[in-house]
Amino acid sequence: MACTCVVGLQWGDEAKGKIVDLLTPRHDVVVRYNGGANAGHTVVTNGLTYKLSLLPTGVLRPELQSVIANGVVVYPPRFLEEVDNLRAAGIPVGGNLKVSDHAHVIFPYHLEEERLNEAGPGQAIGTTGRGIGPCYQDKVGRVCGLRVGELLHPQHLRERLRLIVARKNRILSALSAEAQTFDADRVCDQYLEYAERMRPFITDTTYLLHQSLAAGKGILFEAAQGSLLDVDHGTYPYVTSSNSSPAGVWSGSGVPARRLDRVVGVIKAYTTRVGRGPFPTELNDGIGERIRRTGREYGTVTGRPRRCGWFDAVAVRYTAALAGADELALMLLDVLSEVDEISICTAYETDGQRVDHFPSDAFLLEHCRPVYETLPGWRSEISKARHPADLPKAARSYVERLSQLLELPISIISVGPDREQTILC
C-alpha cells in the first residue's frame, strides 16, 4: 500500500481536511506530523460538520489507526476535549488513537508568553494564540522543554516544573508588569490529572509507524498549515513554528521521506491568509469581500476573517516544487462562480523588473506587485457537478490553465464542502 502526504500549498486552510477524509479509506494509518491545535480541519459528511484541531482527521474513521507523532505540540486539555467531543458525537475513540511520548507539551505559561509577545512592541505575527511558537522554542532550546512521556513520571515532572516555572515567571514578569505568573505545584497537579486520562493513548509512535511500514500498511500524512507558513521555507517571520511542508514528515514522524510514494498538493481556487505577512494578490475590495462571504472565509480556530485574493501561481509553483507534489487537489472552485472575471498571478513585478520565481525574502515579497492574466468567469452554479464534463467551459478552461501554469495534473476538483461534492479527474 502507498504512503501519501496531503499538504497545503498556500497559507493554510486549503481544505486539506476534506482531502484527507477522501483519501483515508485507501490507507491504514493517518498521521499528524507538525503543528498543534493551531490547525482547523473541517470535514462535512451527510450534513454533519466535524472540526478537528489537534487530532488527525483519521479519527473520524475509527477502523483506522490515527497518530499524533513526535513533531506535534500537544496541549493536553485540548486533546482531552476533542476526544470527549468525538465520543459525545458517537464516534468511538480508544486504541485507534496514539500520541507520541516524544511530542512536546504546551503549558499555560506558553500561552501567556505568546500573548505578551503578540501584544508587545516587537513583531506581532497574528498567531492563533495556542502556545505553538513558545512551545517549539522550548523544544529546540532544551532547557524548558517537556515531552508527553515525561507526564507519566510524577516526581520527575514536579521537579522539572518547579525549575521551569520559576524561570518562566521571571521571564514573563520581565516582559510585562501585568504578566500572569504560575504556581509550579498547581500546574503539576493539573497536568498529572491530564496525564492519567492520556496514559492509554501515549506510546512510542515511531516504533508503531516502523511496524506499520514493515507490515506493508499504507500511511497518510496529514500536514497542518500550508507550505508558505513553513518555518524554514515560508514567508518568515510570518510563518508558524514547524515544517508544514512535507519537509516535516521525516523529522516529525520518524518515517523516512523516501518512503513517501505520493504527495497530493492541496490548493484553493483563489488564495487566503490569516494573520499578518506579505500577500501580493490580496484583494481589498468588493471582490475580496464577495469571496470571503461566499467561501465563508473565517478562521476555524480563531473566527478571524481570512484575507482573500486571486490565485498566485508563482507562489504555488514554488511550494509544489518544495513539496515534491505529484498531483493537485483544486478546492472551493464553486466559490468563484459569482465572479465575472478571474485573475491568476503569473509573475511579479518589482522596481520595474519582472520576477518569475518566488522571492526567498518576505521583505522582497512585500514589494512585489502581481502580474495578472485574466480569464472569463462562468457565472453559474457548479456545486452539483460530479464529472469534469459537468463543468461549464469557462470553469474547465480555468482548471486547465492552472494545471498548465503549475505543470502538474489536477486529479481532484472540489465544488462544495461535502464529501459528495467532488470531481475525480
Query: Contact 264/23 with Cβ under 8 angstroms?
Result: yes
Question: CB–CB of 4/262 below 8 Å?
Answer: yes
Q: Does 335 bind ligand GDP (CB under 6 A)?
A: yes
Task: Check residue 339 and give left, alpha or beta (phi > 0: left; psi -120 to 50: alpha).
Answer: beta
- Choosing from 275, 278, 295, 309, the residue that interacts with ligand IMO (CB under 6 A) is 275
Q: Does 334 bind ligand GDP (CB under 6 A)?
A: yes
Task: Give the interface segment with ligand GDP, choosing from 312-320, 338-346, 392-400, 412-420 (CB under 6 A).
Answer: 412-420
Among 3, 6, 11, 13, binds ligand GDP (CB under 6 A): 13
Number of alpha carbons in the 13 Å side-chain half-sphere of residue 113 = 20
State yes or no: residue 21 binds ligand IMO (CB under 6 A). no
Instruction: Specify the residue, 231 or 391, whose C-beta has the smaller distance to ligand IMO.
Output: 231
Which grid cell is 363?
Answer: 521583505
Q: Give the list of residues 6+ apart from residue 209 with CB closer than 8 angstroms, or none.
A: 29, 31, 67, 69, 219, 253, 254, 255
Work out what residue 417 binds among Mg ion, ligand IMO, ligand GDP, none; the CB cut-off runs from 5 to 8 Å by kind. ligand GDP
Closer CB to ligand GDP, residue 230 or residue 334? Answer: 334
- Can residue 8 be called a binding residue for ligand GDP (CB under 6 A)? yes
With respect to ligand IMO, which residue has the nearer C-beta, 55 or 382?
Answer: 55
For residue 291, which phi and psi values (nearest 5 degrees)?
-65, -45
List 27, 104, 130, 233, residue binding ligand IMO (CB under 6 A): 130
The 8-class DSSP code of residue 394 comes to H
Residue 311 phi/psi, 5-degree rounding, is -65, 135
Contacts of 8 (CB under 8 A, 6+ apart): 14, 16, 223, 225, 226, 227, 244, 265, 266, 267
| Nearest distance in Å: CB 359, ligand GDP | 25
The three cell numbers of residue 338 are 459569482
197 CB-contact burial (10 Å; exposed 0-12 / middle 13-18 / buried 19+): middle
The residue within the footprint of ligand GDP, chosen from 5, 15, 29, 283 (CB under 6 A), is 15
Give the whole-angstrom CA distance, residue 273 versus residue 265: 17
Contacting ligand IMO (CB under 6 A), which of 3, 4, 8, 37? 8
Which is nearest to 59 in space by CA: 36, 79, 38? 79
Task: Decide if residue 132 touches ligand IMO (CB under 6 A).
Answer: yes
Q: Select 272 or 343, whichever has its Cβ closest to Mg ion.
A: 272
Q: Which of 27, 32, 41, 292 binds ligand GDP (CB under 6 A)?
A: 41
Q: Among Mg ion, ligand GDP, ligand IMO, none, what binds residue 342 when CB lies within 5 to 8 Å by partner kind?
A: none
- Residue from 34, 42, 169, 244 in contact with ligand GDP (CB under 6 A): 42
Active site residues: 13, 41
Which residues make up the interface to ligand IMO (CB under 6 A)? Answer: 8, 11-13, 38-41, 125-128, 130, 132-133, 224-226, 229, 240-241, 274-275, 300
